[in-house]
Structure 1
Amino acid sequence: MRKAHILKSNRNSEFPAHCIFFDVESELIMSNDKIIHKPYLIVSCYVNFETDYEDWQTFTNPQEFWIYVDTKTQKKRKTVLFAHNITYDLISSGGFRTLQERCYKITNYYEKGRVFILEMNNVEQSKKLLLLNTGNFYSGGVADIGKMFGIPKMEMDFNNPTLEQAIPYCKNDVLIIKTAMTSWFKFCQDEDLGGFARTVPSQAMNAFKHRFMTHPIYLHSNNKVFELERGCYYGGRVECYRLGKFDGKYYYVDVNSMYPFVMLTKEYPVRLVSYRKKPSFDYIRLLIAEGYLLCCKAIVNVDIPFSYIPLRYDKKIIFPIGRFETFMTTPEIIKALDDGIIESFLEVSFYEKVNIFESYVNFFFNKKQEAKQNNDIEKQMLYKLFLNSLYGKFGQKGGGWSICSETDREGSGYERVYFADIEQEGSFKWFNNIMFKLLPETESYNSFCAIAAHVTAYARLYLYDIIVKAGFKNVLYTDTDSIFVNEVGYNNIINMIDKYKLGYLSLEMMSENGITLYAPKDYVFDEKVRHKGVPEKARRINENTWEITLFPKLSTFIRANNVNQYFNVNMQKTLKRQYNKGKVQESDVIPFEFTYQEGKNCLIT
């Protein structure tokens, strides 16, 4: 359990001094149902940012590259390695094996989605390595990043590669990631955004604490309130209101920086005042009148066909009708009180409030607009990243895989162990003679989930108001900060169209050829085709099935007992296209209906 504390400012401004950027090229070998990657080339660039010294190297023996990494790492210094999809480069080149042979031990490991962080120390020689995925900072592939910085990705024949072709191709990829990370360092230093962090959200938090935190934020340690705040923290609204193919003219409209907009214009919790069970309506209204912000659990009875009251059901956020127990924050509570939807309050926590994000959002949004006017695509993207990445850090969870001991077990693996004395199971995995234990999710040290919960609630209600203004019957689909709307609906909101103003609307696309809606994040809008979980390069087999190539994460290789040989597999992915956020009646979707019985939410079928 964490201790209550005040969020500390960040005065550090250090950035990596010694970096190695690298890329691996491999020969592809079919072996049963797997594609084995046998590396034949590594190109690297070592940079000493203190002296502006660069050292480009080419290796045809992967082991020699990792020996080079060791020799370039000075005593009492840290070398930071960057590669795009570094999991692939590290495993395919046998990096774990060679570094272990050279007495490096894992001291920290984290992998989730695009984020990869690995720390290794050679204690005897006081050397440290930090391996980071450039995907921690930039989305998309190397080609996308290269386009941003004006360095086109080269072409190569992967079926019959030669060193003469591969060396310049690989070197160009390294140049792209080196340019991207060097630009990232310079951007953060020029804008005085705090010391180097290992992901964009962490860098955003460093920036906030370094120069934009104008009011103290008090982080509590109340477990009951933690649970209540977590219950109130929902994601964005993603729903289909109609399904199928629709002819005619449709508009894809997006809110300009919706989360930054509500961060700028609203106030947020800065200190927990108290927690109460079963408060009266008069008590809640008094808290609101006195200017407090609230998180609550309540029983509601919703009878409007298009609702704003969220419910977490089957790991999804839905907006049903009927009687049910749910969690809400201040803006939803105020609106629900006005509409007479709330039956009773079960729990409430309330907070002092301040506009904590005003200077942060004003700075980055104005800078983004300036870059847009100067047609500076790189800076636009970087300012946008900071605008969208901060609030989620306040909702961050702790826990995950943690080193518990060294082990003499060889290879790697994963197992679940039952502890009879405490009647609990534990999950463990090991590789490179280090044992990891899966810790339960907890509040991270600097989280304040009530802040993140209010950001997303304000945003959902802002989107709700836009849909109401467009006319619910005119909106076919919504996804977090965007809507698909017909011509009547578009004309209803046309006075909100202004691509330069924060919180206004931008017309992203218009289709005169109709649209097709299959499910959330699965649609065809003119030339924009999106199928959730299907990569652009996937080969389509039929209407609902694609052949995709999986690039596994490190956890897959740990389970396979081989963290020194990379493989991928081809598999078929079939989209079920079953809508599960409401009842489908022909082409229309109507809300699920719930009833509340014996303390449980029950779906009426």
Structure 2
Amino acid sequence: SNLFPVKYVSISHNYTVGGLRRITHIKAVVAKVLIETDEPVYAVKRERLLFPIGRFWTVLTTPELKYAFARGHIKAVTDCVVYEQEVIFKSYVDKFYALRQEFKASGNAEYEELCKKMLNSLYGKFGQKGDDWKKIGDCAGESDREEMVLDMRTHRLSKLRYLLGQVFRMTGHGECFDSFPAIAAHVTAYARLHLWSLMQAVGWGNYFYCDTDSLIVNEKGLECLKSHIHNTSLGGLKVAMTSSHVTIQGLKDYSIGEKKVIKGIRKTAVCVGEGIYEQEQWSSFRGLLRSGQPEDYVVKTITKHLNRDYKKGDVTDTGVVLPYVFDATDREYMKELGYILPNSMLLVQGGLIQELDDDTILKNISMGDIHPDYAQTYLDAVLTKPASQDIMAYELRQENKLANLPKELKKIGIHPDYTKLYDTLAYQIPPVADIITMAVREAFTPAIAEKFGQYQDFPDDLKKYA
């Protein structure tokens, strides 16, 4: 029964607080506002999504604006986009939720899961982003792959994709066709406010962790939520599990009793050390293109190192997380958080073009979310290595035995099992025409040539040197 934006009406850069309050009663709105609050309920997107308190600018949707107006939290407004609004998901949700309950009652777990995914994933399609690709030519015979190309004239980096005999250049990354981010933003806003209302019902100190659609609470908290618990009612809560022991490491990283939940770590992963896991990695289509060998599907074993630094609030000595406080004294800090850093790969490439020293490049890598202990390893991996042909040519010039070839090939990722192959290929075979010429010179003596009249009437000196 919630209302969602369906049609763009107008955009304004000079709304008043009073005007914004009035328009939220009749239209759907997305607005940039100045908030002053003691509740960590308003999302602020910096390098990551934060829920601070204090005084700060952020972008809110209709349900969040109504909540903020009811508590006097909005102090100013700048940009505002207005939409017509309607109930748009009711028939879809009713249909799939009823189907899900039917499949659950009949024990059809696969179809029940399918209905669950249809219900949970629809909203995200309205906010989906994707790469924009432009065809720039044909490339018959080229293998399917993706590669990065640096234009030495403009110093611009481009991504090319070779696919089915055609070559494409990535021109940007933005909204997908038929997207409507305001709808997705309203869905997540409604969900966050509902979760916040449940946390308020539980009371401070009775909840330990919240996720997208769940809470970890104590017995008192469970008692407070009894009226919300219903296993089959749409939007109702259910008790997933109980335990006398909970360990919370961070975001989507916790254990309840014997059950462990770690985002990005498979259930079949093997723990080889504190925060270190080994697991299989199955390549996506894009991953196969990046590998340069899409015809070979290889399941790799990778090692993951967990970074358990919590950066969405201040963790006290007792383990309680307090929200960040944004206020006038934090203005420079807020300004710094407002910038989005390039990823570590781009920081390395830019640093090399700018001829920065290695220490500065390593520092920039760490700023891009790579752990400082692994910055040098990351840099070594990113720097371009010579092609295998160049390494073989160089080693041949150093010595004929190629004793150092296996070591150098391994540095650029050649598996030791294939070193012998490169050892053999290092010695070039003459072209076929040269081989034929050499064979003819060996077998085609002057005596044989004379029978064919090859040297007839030739001067003796020419015969000699023929």
TM-score for the superposition, normalised by structure 2 = 0.66
Deviations 1:420-451 (A, max 9, x none): 67x85432132553212213123333111111
Question: Which residue among 28, 34, 42 is the counterpart of 1:309?
Answer: 42
* Matching residue within 360, 367, 385 for 2:99: 367
User: Is contact 2:158-2:169 (8 Å) kept?
Assistant: yes
Q: What's the CA shift for 1:468?
A: 0.6
Aligned to 1:163: none
CA distance in 2, matches of 1:374, 1:526: 30
Partner in structure 2 of residue 336 of structure 1: 68
Within-5 A mapping of 1:407-418: 407=139, 410-411=142-143, 412-418=145-151
Is 1:274 matched with 2:7?
Answer: no
Equivalent position of 2:58 in the other structure = 326
The CA deviation string for residues 125-182 of structure 1, in whole angstroms up to 9 with x for no partner, is: xxxxxxxxxxxxxxxxxxxxxxxxxxxxxxxxxxxxxxxxxxxxxxxxxxxxxxxxxx
- 1:457-487 Cα deviation digits (max 9, x unpaired): 0011001101110113211111100010011
Per mean C-alpha deviation after superposition, the further-off stretch among 383-392 and 580-589 is 383-392
Distance across 1 between alignment mates of 2:157 and 2:259: 46
Secondary structure of the residue that 1:451 maps to in structure 2? helix
The equivalent residue for 2:80 is 348
Q: Deviations over 1:506-531 (max 9, x none)?
A: 1111113x111001111111232112
Asked if 1 retains the 8 angstrom alpha-carbon contact of 2:253 and 2:263, the reply is: yes
Does the 8 Å CA contact 2:146/2:159 hold for their aligned counterparts?
no
What's the counterpart of residue 459 of structure 2?
none
User: Aligned partners of 2:265, 2:333: CA distance in 1, in Å?
Assistant: 40
Which residue of structure 1 aligns with residue 178 of structure 2? Answer: 446
| Aligned pairs for 1:538-549 within 5 A | 538-549=269-280
Kept in 2: contact 1:277–1:347 (CA 8 A)? yes
User: Could you report, residue by residue, the CA deviation over 1:38-89 in whole angstroms, capped at 9, with x for unpaired residues?
Assistant: xxxxxxxxxxxxxxxxxxxxxxxxxxxxxxxxxxxxxxxxxxxxxxxxxxxx
Contact conserved, 2:140 with 2:165, CA < 8 A, in 1? yes
Is structure 2 residue 254 aligned with structure 1 residue 523? yes
Q: Does 1:429 align with 2:429?
A: no
Q: What amino acid does structure 2 have at the position aligned with 1:468? A: Q
Moved more, 593-602 or 502-511: 593-602
Deviation at 1:557, TM superposition (A): 4.4
Q: Which amino acid aligns with 2:257?
A: D
* Contact 2:148–2:157 (8 Å) recurs in 1: no
Shift of 1:284: 0.7
Partner of residue 304, structure 2: 573
Q: Which residue of 1 aligns with 2:238?
A: 506
3-state secondary structure, aligned to 1:395: coil
Mapped pair 1:457 → 2:189: yes
Closer/same/farther in 2, CA of residues 595 and 602 from structure 1, 3 Å limit: farther
| 1:483 aligned partner | 215
8 Å CA contact retained: 1:416, 1:427: yes
Kindly indicate whether the alpha-carbon contact (under 8 Å) linking 1:594 and 1:602 is maintained by their aligned counterparts in 2.
no
Matched, 1:590 2:322: yes
Question: In structure 2, what residue type is equivalent to 1:460?
Answer: R
Deviations 1:264-291 (A, max 9, x none): x2011111111100310121122123x1
Compute the displacement of 1:401 (Å).
Answer: 4.1
Tell me the distance in 2 between the aligned counterparts of 1:585 and 1:346: 36
Report the AA paired with residue 301 of structure 1: E
CA offset digits 1:214-267 (Å, max 9, x no partner): xxxxxxxxxxxxxxxxxxxxxxxxxxxxxxxxxxxxxxxxxxxxxxxxxxx201
> Of Structure 1 and Structure 2, which has the larger fraction of its residues in strand?
1
Quote the RMSD (CA, aligned, Å).
2.5
- Report if the CA contact (8 A) 2:16-2:77 is conserved: yes
Q: Secondary structure at the match of 2:63?
A: helix
2:228 maps to a residue whose letter is M
Match in the other structure for 2:19: 283
- Cα shift readout 1:184-210 (whole Å, capped 9, x = no counterpart): xxxxxxxxxxxxxxxxxxxxxxxxxxx
What are the ranges of 5 or more consecutive residues in structure 2 without an aligned counterpart? 339-466
Report the Cα distance in structure 2 between the residues aligned to 1:577 and 1:599, rounded to whole angstroms: 22
Q: CA deviation at 1:499?
A: 0.5
- Structure 1 window deviating more from structure 2 (503-512 vs 529-538): it is 529-538
Offset of 1:296 from its aligned partner?
0.6
Report what 1:297 is aligned to.
32
Residues 354, 554 of structure 1: alpha-carbon distance in 2 compared, 3 angstrom cutoff: closer
Separation in 2 of the partners of 1:375 and 1:368?
A: 11
Q: Deviations over 1:79-126 (max 9, x none)?
A: xxxxxxxxxxxxxxxxxxxxxxxxxxxxxxxxxxxxxxxxxxxxxxxx
After superposition, the Cα gap between the structure-2 partners of 1:574 and 1:471, relative to the gap in structure 1 and judged at 3 Å, is same
Equivalent position SS for 2:280: strand
Q: How far did residue 591 of structure 1 move?
A: 0.8
Letter paired with 2:311 = N
**What SS is found at the alignment partner of 2:115?**
helix
Residue 511 to residue 358, structure 1, CA distance change in 2 (3 Å): same
Radius of gyration: which is bigger? 2
* Pair 442,583 (structure 1): closer, same or farther in 2 beyond 3 Å: same
- Between the aligned partners of 2:332 and 2:262, the Cα distance in structure 1 is 40
SS for the counterpart of 2:326 is strand
Q: Take 2:218 and 2:114, find their aligned partners in 1: how far apart are those partners? A: 33
Q: Which amino acid aligns with 2:27?
A: Y
**Cα distance change of structure 1 residues 359 and 541 upon mapping to structure 2, 3 Å threshold:** same
Instruction: Say if 1:378 and 1:452 are closer, same or farther in 2 by CA, change over 3 A.
Output: same
Q: Secondary structure at the match of 2:308?
A: coil
Structure 2 matches for 1:85-164, cutoff 5 A? none
Q: Measure the CA separation in 1 of the matches of 2:287 and 2:110.
A: 35
- Whole-angstrom CA distance in 2 between matches of 1:474 and 1:367: 35
Name structure 1 gaps, 5 residues minimum. Answer: 1-264
Structure 1 Cα separation of the partners of residues 78 and 332 of structure 2: 14
Counterparts of 1:136-285 in structure 2 under 5 Å? 265-285=1-21
TM-score by length of 1: 0.52
| Separation in structure 2 between the aligned mates of residue 416 and residue 301 of structure 1, nearest angstrom | 47
In 1, Cα distance between the equivalents of 2:113 and 2:289? 35
Separation (CA, whole Å) in 2 of partners of 1:433 and 1:317: 41
Q: Give the number of aligned pairs.
A: 334
Q: Secondary structure at the match of 2:242?
A: strand
2:225 to 465, 468, 493: 493
For 2:322 and 2:333, the matched residues in 1 are separated by 25
Q: CA deviation at 1:576?
A: 1.9
Partner of 1:81: none
Provide the C-alpha distance between the structure 1 equivalents of 2:32 and 2:252, rounded to a whole number of angstroms.
30
Q: After superposition, give the CA deviation of every residue in 1:294-314 in whole Å (9 maximum; x if it has no partner).
A: 10111212223xx21101121
